[in-house]
Amino acid sequence: MVDNWQYKFSENMKNYGGYSIGKLFSLLTDPEIISLAGGLPSPDIFLKEETRIASKNRLEKDIETIMQYTPIGGESTLIEAIIQFMKREDIEITRENILITSSGQHGLDITGRLFLNPGDIVMIDRPTFAGAIVAFQLQNPGFVGVDIEDDGPNVDGYREKIIALAKTNKKPKFIYVVPDFQNPSGITMSYEKRIALLDLSYEYDIPIIEDSPYRDLRYYGESIPSLLYLDQQRKGNNVIGLFTFSKLFCPGMRVGYNIGAPEVIQKMTNIKEGNVLNTPKYNQDLCTAFLTEMNFNSHIEKCIKYYRKKLEVFMDTMEECFPEETGVSWTKPEGGLFLWVTVPEHIDTKELFYEAIKFKVAFVPGEVFYGENPSKNHMRINFSYATEAQLAEAVKRLSACIKDQI
Ligand SMILES: Cc1ncc(COP(=O)(O)O)c(C=O)c1O
């Protein structure tokens, strides 16, 4: 009999705690709590009838292949649909540039496995997507973070860190960014910073991982070219793009795709062979239907209108409830599903989380979005899932809870 499993675990996994947000979510069982914690798209915008029809057609026509093992790299029909889909952003790719993944999280996992040895350095924003941190942590890297600015990563700060690392013979394996409506901050990287980040990547020969689940969900302002596009225009091959169907279609499908240089995609496909084999064909086929049969443009327009209204309600109530003297500030995202609230420095939002539950409102404490040396006085707010009335009520509850602490 094994009497201590701890000794059996691999060095990498012994101290691995997984997604700490999950543990907090398990505390949100009271139905009266309004949760602004998750990252869920609203089921109101799910294309339910269209998906029922597409599903019925697929099952009628293709049940045998749906029930079978299918190609590891992905279904040709989906790959072809993605190639066409990327053209709307003037991105030219071929099949060799795409791997279908079992969601964005899987794309991150594969990326970490491909590039990271234990102790390797990943450069990230402070804060950045917690799911990326936990995916990369599976390989036990070190994180070097630089505080994000209102217009995206502090590229000069990245440069300084790269130069400092070089003095100890280290170089980041890659830079991970979410340029559009970043999770958790809602911040978008300016055009100038995209160019500067690419310059940095070329100068120091460091790949960029561009994670892009929210790009199409822009509620205000003009779209800014993606890093993937800009890299192609400059004849580079430094950017690897990670995409997912989770936020535009639905997370339940667990389908995404990675785009990169053929050598990278080939290796990523080998890794997928060793972990999930193929992504379910049925799920991929429904994603193909989403891109080709469900009127993508009008769906996105509907999502934009729907989420923009929620964001407006949230912002207006924040203005009412948190006048300047409260010392509470927040980002003003132009799209996506999240924003970032900063409270006075003496408030630890992890402790505030437990207080907020008593006021029947929940958020994610900001500390989970740091690779090292977490900042404690922030919270991530999701505004896509709760109803408009709930959003307004949640802000009032938050304000009552925070005012107690100021
Ligand atoms: C920046 C970012 N990347 C990746 C993901 C993972 O998405 P999924 O695994 O649902 O496709 C998310 C989900 O919230 C995200 O915000």
Q: What is the DSSP string of 46-61?
A: --HHHHHHHHHHHHHH
Q: Which residue's CA lies nearest to atom 8 of ligand 1? A: 104
Query: What does the pLDDT read at residue 21?
Result: 72
Q: Does the CB atom of residue 131 touch ligand 1 within 6 A?
A: yes
Q: What does the pLDDT read at residue 217?
A: 98
* Ligand 1, atom nearest to 106 Cα: 9
Rounded distance from Cα 177 to ligand 1 centre (Å): 12
Mark whether 331 and 215 lie in a shared domain.
Answer: no
Give the number of the atom of ligand 1 that is nearest the alpha carbon of residue 256: 11
376, 315: one domain: yes
CA–centroid distance, residue 104 to ligand 1 (Å): 5
Decide whether any atom of ligand 1 lies within 6 Å of the 246 Cβ: yes
| Ligand 1 neighbourhood includes 369 CB (under 6 angstroms) | no
Report the percentage of the chain scoring pLDDT > 70: 100
Q: Which residues is 330 bridged to in the sheet? A: 341
Is residue 62 situated within a structural domain? Answer: no
Q: Specify if 59 maps to a domain.
A: no
Tell me, in angstroms, the distance from the centre of ligand 1 to residue 185's CA: 14
Residues 272 and 308 reside in one and the same domain: no
Q: Is residue 327 part of a domain?
A: yes
Residue 89's Cβ-count burial label (10 Å; 0-12, 13-18, 19+) is middle
Nearest CA to ligand 1 atom 16: 183
pLDDT for position 22: 76
Question: Ligand 1: which atom is nearest the Cα of residue 244?
Answer: 11
| CB of 333 shorter than 6 A to ligand 1 | no
Report the number of distinct structural domains present in the chain: 2
DSSP 3-state of 206: coil
The CATH number of residue 16's host domain is: 3.90.1150.10
From 239, 273, 295, the end of a domain falls on: 295
Residue 404: pLDDT band by 50, 70, 90 thresholds?
Answer: confident
Spacing, Cα 114 to ligand 1 middle (Å): 19
Distance of CA 105 from the midpoint of ligand 1 (Å): 6
Domain ends where: 295, 311, 327?
295
Residue 209 lies in a domain: yes
Q: Give residue-wise pLDDT tens across range 277-319.
A: 999 999 999 999 999 999 999 999 999 999 999 999 999 999 9
| Helix axes 281-293 and 48-66, enclosed angle (nearest 10) | 140
Least Cα distance to 349 among 341, 338, 358, 337 occurs for 341
- Say if CB 367 and CB 385 are below 8 A apart: no
In this predicted model, what pLDDT tens digit does every residue of 332-371 receive, in sequence order?
999 999 999 999 999 999 999 999 999 999 999 999 999 9
For residues 148 and 172, membership in a common domain is answered with yes
Task: Confirm or reject: Cβ of 335 under 6 Å from ligand 1.
Answer: no
Q: Does any domain span residue 58?
A: no
CA–CA gap between residue 158 and residue 175 (Å, rounded):
9
- The reply to whether 215 and 242 lie within a common domain is yes
Decide: helix, strand or coil at residue 117.
Answer: coil
201-239: per-residue pLDDT in tens?
999 999 999 999 999 999 999 999 999 999 999 999 999
Query: Would the CB of 283 count as within 6 Å of ligand 1?
Result: no
- Choose the residue to mutate in 102, 124, 183, 240 for probing ligand 1, maximizing ligand atoms within 8 Å of C-beta: 183
Residue 231 lies in a domain: yes
Say whether both 359 and 326 belong to one domain. yes
Q: Please give the pLDDT value at position 323.
A: 95
85: nearest Cα among 188, 77, 232: 77
Rounded-to-integer distance, Cα 178 and Cα 374, Å: 19
115 and 229 both lie in a single domain: yes
User: Are residues 315 and 278 located together in one domain of the fold?
Assistant: no
In this prediction, residue 17 carries a pLDDT of 85
Would you say how long the chain is, in residues? 406
How many other CB atoms sit within 10 Å of the CB of residue 241? 25
Examine residue 63 and state whether it is found in any structural domain, yes or no: no
Relative to beta strand 208-211, strand 239-244 is parallel
Domain that holds residue 399: 5-46+298-403
197: enclosing H helix or E strand:
helix 191-204
pLDDT value at residue 354: 94
Mean of per-residue pLDDT scores for the chain: 96
CATH number at residue 104: 3.40.640.10
**Looking at the structure, do residues 335 and 283 belong to the same domain, yes or no?**
no
pLDDT band at 107 (very low <50, low <70, confident <90, very high): very high
Same domain, 123 and 232: yes
Q: Are 85 and 191 contained in the same domain? A: yes
pLDDT band, residue 91 (cuts 50/70/90): very high
Nearest residue by C-alpha to atom 5 in ligand 1 = 104
| The domain boundary residue, chosen from 267, 295, 323 | 295
pLDDT of residue 18: 84
Same domain, 226 and 252: yes
Does residue 29 belong to any structural domain of this protein? yes
Q: 151-203 pLDDT, tens per residue?
A: 999 999 999 999 999 999 999 999 999 999 999 999 999 999 999 999 999 99
